[in-house]
Amino acid sequence: MSVFTTAELAYLRGGGPHRLGRLATVGADGVPHVVPLGWSLDPTATFIEIGGRNLVSSKKFRDVSATGRAALVIDDVLPPWRPRGVEIRGRAEAVPGPAAHIRLTPERVISWGLHEGDTIEATYRARDVKEGGRS
Which residues sit opposite 127 in a β-bridge?
109
Q: What is the pLDDT of residues 5-19, one digit of tens each?
A: 999 999 999 866 667
Q: Where are the domains of the chain?
A: 6-128
Q: What is the CA radius of gyration of the chain?
A: 15
Q: What is the pLDDT of residues 43-83, one digit of tens each?
A: 999 999 999 889 999 999 999 999 999 999 999 988 888 88
- Distance, in Å, from the CA atom of 38 to the CA atom of 108, rounded to the nearest integer, reads 20
Mean residue pLDDT across the chain: 88
Looking at residue 83, its pLDDT comes to 87
- Domain 6-128 belongs to what topology? Pnp Oxidase; Chain A (2.30.110)
The model carries a pTM of 0.88
